[in-house]
Amino acid sequence: MADPMEPYRSTPVFDEATLPAALRADHRTKAGVWGVIRVLQGDLLLTFADGEERRLAPGLDGLLEPERTHRVEPLGSMRMQVDFYDRRPPG
């Protein structure tokens, strides 16, 4: 089992051109999987299926709860990565 302070997996770093269409459309993590969207540069809009929106930027991470439907949209030039955990990450 992964250390609770370290992700067990991370996506590549994506920018506004390489962000996959699947992440721009509604999707969700699997049961028991937590995610943290980390914006390295620029801004990103995180939208949940219930209509809640969060503007993410460096230092303003987006917590993804297991099985909660969401999508992301770059707000101009940006770089981001998603870290995955097997339990709620700290913070």
pTM of the model: 0.92
Q: How far apart are CA 82 and CA 57, in angstroms?
A: 13
Task: Supply the DSSP symbol for 60.
Answer: B
How do residues 1-46 score in pLDDT, each as one tens digit? 445 579 999 999 999 999 999 999 999 999 999 999 999 999 999 9
Q: What is the pLDDT of residue 82?
A: 98
Residue ranges covered by each domain of the chain? 12-85
- Is the CB of residue 58 less than 8 Å from the CB of residue 41? yes
- Tokens linked to 29: 């993590």
| Cβ atoms of residues 66 and 29 within 8 Å | yes
- CATH number of the domain located at residue range(s) 12-85 in this protein: 2.60.120.10
